[in-house]
Amino acid sequence: MGAGLAGLAAAQLLQRQGIDVLVLEARSRVGGRVNTLDELPGHPEGGANVIGPNYGRVIDAAKSGDVKLHSPARSGETGFIINGQRILPDAWATSAANPLQGPMRALAPDRLLGAALRDNPLKTSSDWLNPRMAEYDLGVDSYLASLGFSDAAVSLVAANNSYGNSIQDTSMLSLLRVGNNFARARAMRQPVYEAARGNMRIPESIAQQFSGSIKFNVTVSRVERSGAEIIVQDLQGQQYHGDALIMALPLPALRNIQIDAMSEAQREAVTAVNYHKVTQVHLLVREPYWNDALPASWWTNGPLGRLFLRPSANPGEYANLTVWINGADCDRLAAMSEAEAGDTVRREVEAVLPEARGLLTTGKVLRWTDDPFAGGSWAVWAPGQLGRYFELLQQPLGRIFFAGEHTARANPGMEGAMESGERAALDSLRTLL
């Protein structure tokens, strides 16, 4: 179940081992949270964008499918908008609007976290799950305070925190995990990648080489076991029978499925773990508003989150400005129509960047949290949840196995999704041989 990278990796592995595999997918496309916006100029990414140099499975899937990878175009320097006031990158340390004190003033808001992660107790990619690290399973705010971060510094870190919907509800272990991954990626001194024609080409290529079948527009709503057989039912009442099942879905999607054999404890885990709220507004930029003195990309501590410029692929083509809104700031846009949300955000961008007035049109609004098949961008772990729920969430129910990014140990994101699919495929293979 699920034709995201986790489900596709599992399906491919099993099929190569001689197992008959059917993939059921609720949407009309593969890829799940990989979602290239092919309809927009420059095909920007609406979902996963960065492929790390050590993403072995993702890179192999691309290479074996002739999907070309390249390093993303650089988008130049980032300016800061603090409490509505613009600060140029060079002026940050001395700006009156910089709320930091002492030597910390020299640290740009997007560098603060790096400073907190410098002495990282995590040494391996899976140490975040190591019970010996449980002392770091506390709110990021408390940890930062213990390092001597001022309230102002903590609130800058909180403004664009991607690993929780509030800083108190974000386990420090999540950030230490990210820090460990960044440090390794830096040490590797290799570039990051994206698929040249969009990351969607990667799941598409796995699907194309998969000789089993993928059924689209099948929303599974119920799973039950009858003897050794597993019966899956979709919203239309259509049933599918099999010897084993891999549920490669994000937790918010899993919550909507009745799974007869699931224990109270496991159901609690499925319900309790939240997903990060992300809304992206993709604006088309007709011609540059930026210049040598004015950055294209901006980091704000306000409701617009971060503004990432993706340069146009060819001269004369539209560039893309992705407004990446996260956490509770997504809530106000959830109630609006897509057009209204897009225009609201575009007007707010023009208010802080008057130079861009008249140059922007709204391309696309992606509200991951409101997407019933995703429910957010990725699992976020509150203090106390990793120890209680992580193992439980991948405990098989007989021949029902669980996969998906939230069950991966060593790798995050796309690579984690494929790692988890591989693990679940091997687990199920043992019961099918």
Partner 1 sequence: MKPTRIYPHRTNARRDRRAGLGASLLTAVAICLALASQAAEESSPARARLSGEQAFAACAACHSLADGAVHKVGPNLWGVYGRAAAQAEDYAYSPALAAAGLTWTRENLFAWIAGSEAMVPGSWMLFQNNLQPDEVMSLIDYLAAHGGTGGQ
Give CA–CA dist 229/225, Å, rounded: 6
Say if residues 128 and 177 touch (Cβ distance below 8 Å): yes
**Of residues 232 and 365, the one with the C-beta less far from partner 1:** 232
CB atoms within 10 A of CB 349: 22
Contact pattern from residue 30 through residue 69 relative to partner 1, giving x for each residue in contact according to CB under 8 A and a dash for the rest? -----------------------xxxxx-xxx-x------
In the complex, what is the shortest distance from the CB of residue 18 to ligand HEC, in angstroms, rounded to a whole number?
20
**Of residues 92 and 381, the one with the C-beta less far from ligand FAD:** 381
Give CA–CA dist 162/177, Å, rounded: 13
Say if residues 198 and 38 touch (Cβ distance below 8 Å): yes
**Of residues 1 and 269, the one with the C-beta less far from ligand FAD:** 1
State which of positions 269-298 bind ligand FAD (CB under 6 A): 278
Compute CA 360 distance to the chain's CA centroid, rounded to the nearest angstrom: 26
Asked whether position 22 contacts partner 1 by CB under 8 A, the answer is yes
Query: Could you tell which of partner 1, ligand HEC, ligand FAD, none binds residue 15, using a CB distance below 5 to 8 A set by kind?
Result: none
- Tell me the site size for partner 1, rule CB under 8 A: 55
Contact with ligand HEC (CB under 6 A): which of 16, 56, 101, 151?
A: 56
C-alpha separations of 329 from 306, 308, 332, 373 in Å: 12, 17, 7, 21
Query: Could you tell which of partner 1, ligand FAD, ligand HEC, none binds residue 99, using a CB distance below 5 to 8 A set by kind?
Result: none
CB atoms within 10 A of CB 123: 10
**Of residues 222 and 255, the one with the C-beta less far from partner 1:** 222
Say if residues 31 and 204 touch (Cβ distance below 8 Å): yes
State which of positions 57-96 bind ligand HEC (CB under 6 A): 57
> Residue for token digits 């992705």?
322
In the complex, what is the shortest distance from the CB of residue 237 to partner 1, in angstroms, rounded to a whole number?
5
Q: Say if strands 229-234 and 319-326 run parallel, antiparallel, or are unpaired.
A: unpaired
Q: What CA dihedral angle connects 185, 186, 191 and 195, to 10 degrees?
A: 30
Say if residues 286 and 359 touch (Cβ distance below 8 Å): yes
Ramachandran region, residue 144 (left: φ > 0; alpha: ψ -120 to 50; beta: rest): alpha
Asked whether position 405 contacts ligand FAD by CB under 6 A, the answer is yes
- Tell me the site size for ligand FAD, rule CB under 6 A: 37
Asked whether position 248 contacts ligand FAD by CB under 6 A, the answer is yes
Asked whether position 306 contacts ligand FAD by CB under 6 A, the answer is no
Contact pattern from residue 12 through residue 51 relative to ligand FAD, giving x for each residue in contact according to CB under 6 A and a dash for the rest? ------------xxxx----xxx------------xxxx-
Strands (E), 293-383: 297-300, 306-310, 319-326, 360-367, 379-380
Give CA–CA dist 208/418, Å, rounded: 17
Return phi, psi of residue 7, to 5°: -65, -40
Asked whether position 124 contacts partner 1 by CB under 8 A, the answer is yes
* Range list of H helices, 255-404: 264-272, 331-334, 338-352, 385-389
Give CA–CA dist 195/70, Å, rounded: 6
Stretch that binds partner 1, among 85-93, 159-167, 237-245, 302-310 (CB under 8 A): 237-245
**Of residues 56 and 148, the one with the C-beta less far from ligand HEC:** 56
State which of positions 358-417 bind partner 1 (CB under 8 A): 397-399, 409-411
204 closest CA partner among 61, 37, 377: 61
Query: Could you tell which of partner 1, ligand HEC, ligand FAD, none binds residue 433, using a CB distance below 5 to 8 A set by kind?
Result: partner 1
In the complex, what is the shortest distance from the CB of residue 411 to ligand HEC, in angstroms, rounded to a whole number?
7
Asked whether position 177 contacts partner 1 by CB under 8 A, the answer is no
Give CA–CA dist 204/201, Å, rounded: 5
C-alpha separations of 50 from 44, 181, 194, 198, 300 in Å: 12, 13, 6, 11, 21
**Of residues 171 and 322, the one with the C-beta less far from ligand FAD:** 322
Contact pattern from residue 77 through residue 116 relative to ligand FAD, giving x for each residue in contact according to CB under 6 A and a dash for the rest? ----------------------------------------
Contact with partner 1 (CB under 8 A): which of 102, 131, 237, 354?
A: 237
Residues contributing to the site for ligand HEC (CB under 6 A): 56-57
Residues contributing to the site for partner 1 (CB under 8 A): 13, 16-22, 53-57, 59-61, 63, 123-126, 184, 187-188, 225, 227-228, 231, 236-243, 261, 397-399, 409-411, 418-419, 422-423, 425-427, 429-433
Residues contributing to the site for ligand FAD (CB under 6 A): 1-7, 24-27, 32-34, 47-50, 218-220, 248-250, 253, 257, 278, 368, 373-374, 377-378, 404-405, 413-414, 417
